[in-house]
Amino acid sequence: LDAPAVARVVEHSSRLVEDRERLSTHISDIRDLLREADFVAGQAGAELIGREHVSEAVEKRIYRLDRFRELVRENVARGLVLVETDGAKVGQVNGLSVVSLGQIQFGQPSRITATARLGRGELMDIERESHLGGKIHSKAVMIVSSFLGSRYAQEQPLSLHASLVFEQSYGGVEGDSASIAEVCALISAIIGRPIKQSLAVTGSMDQHGVVQAIGGVNEKIEGFFDICKEQGLNGDQGVIIPTTNKDHLMLRQDVVDAVAAGQFHVYTVGTVDEAMVLLFSPNGEGAVDSAEIDTAMRSRIAELHDIRRRLVHEDESKNE
């Protein structure tokens, strides 16, 4: 191998363990890659294995395994699976998940939607109610509910009924990496403020709104990038990830090039507030202040509480 080829193998090894400061100890995988790169170099008549030969070997390996990923992309392109990468919607956000199939795993964007109406403070997790949500996901939704109650309902009850669901999800939903997306979708539904569909978000959170690291960050970013590229990059699209995941980034070269050219963006956030600033900011306008979102939330919750209290009073008057 020449020096650039060695560097490319090291990059691939770090990607296998999702950490720029670590290398994979799965020597058999690296050995297989080198054998294939050697064959590619031999076919090209090269004396040494070059970076391009290693990259081609990696691409061919993915090509042999990614039939299901291509079907997912095709369904999105044909409109069978709905994923929006432009405009803004109320109560809808692009979440990111990872699908693992044998030797390959890839990111799959999903629409997470929320609704809110007058109620008694219930947050319904449709995935759990339909027995499609795992224990970790159910725990994450409870944390989201606790965060909303602690932040916006310390002096009065949450007089609303809200629901969350992964749209067009027909298998199990597990993990807590959608927590940030879910809380932003809920806030959007409650105050009626649209969320930018050009951004996708991943990240778990604690009860105080601190964003926590997640797994599969490279595949998640690349999965949304592929959908955006298919629908047309407009320079406003990107992904929001936890700040604690920045050392895990080992992205494909085409994604790196798009970011460098300003066609795609990777934002890192440390709190829910930072994510809200990005998701609720109108296209082409200045950034929204998270305090503005908090004010709108408290105002709407107070309004719903007044409505519910008035209705209860009217019912009591009728029964007298």
Q: Catalytic residue numbers?
A: 177, 220
Pick from 95, 81, 114: which is nearest to 173 by CA? 95
Residue 97: name the closest of 269, 184, 17, 217 by CA: 217
Question: What is the phi/psi pair of residue 173, to 5°?
Answer: -115, 120
Per the listing, tokens 């109650």 go with 149
Q: Is beta strand 160-166 parallel, antiparallel or unpaired with respect to 265-269?
A: unpaired
Long-range contacts of 25-30 (CB under 8 A, 24+ apart): none
Tell me how far apart the alpha carbons of residues 202 and 182 are, in angstroms, rounded to a whole number: 10
**Cα end-to-end distance, the chain, whole Å:** 89
Please, are residues 232 and 238 in contact by the beta-carbon 8 Å criterion?
A: no
Contact assessment for residue 266 and residue 241, using Cβ atoms and an 8 Å cutoff: yes
**How would you label 99-117 residue by residue, b for 16+ Cβ within 10 Å and e otherwise?**
beeeebbbbbbbbbbbbbe
**Looking at residue 210, what DSSP letter applies?**
B
The partner residues of 195 in beta bridges, in order of sequence, read 89
